[in-house]
Amino acid sequence: MKTQRRVSAAVVALLLGGAGIAISASPAVAAEATYKVKCVPPAGGGDPVEGETTAKITAPAAAKVGDEVDVVWETVKPASNNTDLMDIPKDAVQPTGWITLGGGMGELKVVGEKKNPPIPKKAPMVMSPMKGKLKLTKAGKITLTPGKYDVAVTFSFGTFVTKCAPVGEVKGGATIDVSAGSSGGTTSGGTTTGGATTGGSTTTGGSTTGGSTTSGGSTTGGGGGQTDFPGKPVEVSFDCGPVVPGGIKTPVTINAKKNGGSYDLTVKTAKGAMAAPVPLPAGALKPSMDVKLGGADSGTVKVSGPANAEAIPDKGPVSLSDMTGTYKPGKTGKVTLSPDQLTIDVTMAAGSPPINVPCKAASSGVSLELDTTAQPGGSGSSTSTGTSTGTGTSGGLAETGAEDEGGIQALALVAGTVILLGGAVFTFTPWRRLRGTR
């Protein structure tokens, strides 16, 4: 049970807080506040966790109405260390905080840069100072008290945000003695640097997003003596639900080779360029996809690829294998082929039940168009499928992807696997089951 709680809170502990990074001195006064916070992890990251943090607020001791002053929030004491599950890469942590202003002036948003040294397992978290500018609009003493904050951590497979809010009253913080002067405007928010979170909820700075529709064009084939019909890469946005916040985006190419009256299909994703976040055994990742038929024909064709033949070490390169299947036309005419649902089966030990990660194509496009001739027993209804094959590229991990797409990181596709191995495993399977297979 202790192990379960530790793993299920992995994402939370990664994001709870940070050790301060020293800022250059300025003619200002700093004051600290130590308070408890309750942190809510992203979907699938476990239960909320409470911790204690110390924040130092730096602002001018005195100013006048009309001045715009710099305010800095530095995290002196983190609410938690990094876990023992995963190293956090360099320049991956970005904080955003909200400072409560006295006198009914509302809140000041302050944002930190996405700048941190590599944070090993169990090491103290590190967050950059959060900065903002405050326009002073009235005379008097204005208190600046640290309040809620968000922490976004970006990995190669996605960005995850934990939201922390004070538990009880927060005492302490800086005070600015504002004297009468020129009339001012309104309170301004913090400066946004390094790709800030906005509105306290949406994260930028590396997260993978879906939803944009990109058409990959079409290649007409099927007539004469031609046998090979190369498709065009089409950007596909996959929605994997809470498993992969923000979804997955990667180019997909569908190629066909005529085989009698049928077509042997090969589906490629872009070459993988991400490092494995944890060691993956041989046979851990097996992809499959539905190819959607359009135009004269309808239905889907299932294609699948082999699992990785060799174990992948921690931080080793990972790629999805080529996926193959057979399309037997049920109609005569021009038929379009488009990428549809992607599925990744995750198996952490030979013989154990796989964990199924479905990813719906939220947006897609036509990769290939064929001139087909109907075949007896072929597809042609909205529910029928082509004959799928269980074979694919043999040996190791395939070098997948169109030649001109080698620089694109498609292996955010393994994000579901990463989260399953880290913090969101309980969304899909009891911990005791996964533990028993490792």
List pLDDT tens digits, range 43-67: 655 678 888 999 999 999 999 999 9
What is the pLDDT, as a whole number, of residue 273?
A: 45
Does residue 319 contact residue 397 with C-beta atoms inside 8 Å? Answer: yes
Q: In this prediction, what percent of the chain has a pLDDT beyond 70?
A: 65
d(CA 71, CA 99): 9
pLDDT band of residue 334 (cuts 50, 70, 90) is very high
DSSP state of 124: B
Q: What is the mean pLDDT of residues 259-270?
A: 92
pLDDT band of residue 245 (cuts 50, 70, 90) is low
What is the pLDDT, as a whole number, of residue 222?
A: 45
Of 9-18, 31-40, 325-334, the range with the lowest mean pLDDT is: 9-18
Q: Which residue has the higher pLDDT, 278 or 2?
A: 278
> Whole-number mean pLDDT of the chain?
72
What one-character-per-residue DSSP string does 192-218 give?
--SS--BTTTB--SS------------
What is the pLDDT, as a whole number, of residue 191?
A: 37
Does residue 14 contact residue 164 with C-beta atoms inside 8 Å? Answer: no
Q: Is 28 helix (H, G, I), strand (E, B) or coil?
A: coil
What is the helix, strand, coil percentage profile of the chain, to 5?
10, 40, 50
Segment 119-134, tens digit of pLDDT: 998 888 899 999 999 9
Q: What is the pTM of this model?
A: 0.43
| φ, ψ (nearest 5 deg) of residue 141 | -90, 125
pLDDT > 80? residue 190: no
What is the end-to-end Cα distance of the chain in Å, rounded? 17
* Lookup: tokens for 436: 């028993």
pLDDT band of residue 284 (cuts 50, 70, 90) is confident
pLDDT > 50? residue 428: no
Q: Is 2-179 CATH 1.10.3090?
A: no
Of 115-124, 165-174, 211-220, 369-378, the range with the lowest mean pLDDT is: 211-220
Of 40-54, 139-153, 191-205, 316-330, the range with the lowest mean pLDDT is: 191-205
pLDDT band of residue 144 (cuts 50, 70, 90) is very high
What is the pLDDT, as a whole number, of residue 161?
A: 85
Domain boundaries, the chain: 2-179, 228-437
d(CA 109, CA 308): 46
Does residue 27 contact residue 60 with C-beta atoms inside 8 Å? Answer: yes
Segment 202-219, tens digit of pLDDT: 333 333 333 333 334 444
pLDDT band of residue 370 (cuts 50, 70, 90) is very high
Does residue 343 contact residue 358 with C-beta atoms inside 8 Å? Answer: yes
d(CA 350, CA 367): 35
Q: In this prediction, what percent of the chain has a pLDDT beyond 90?
A: 37
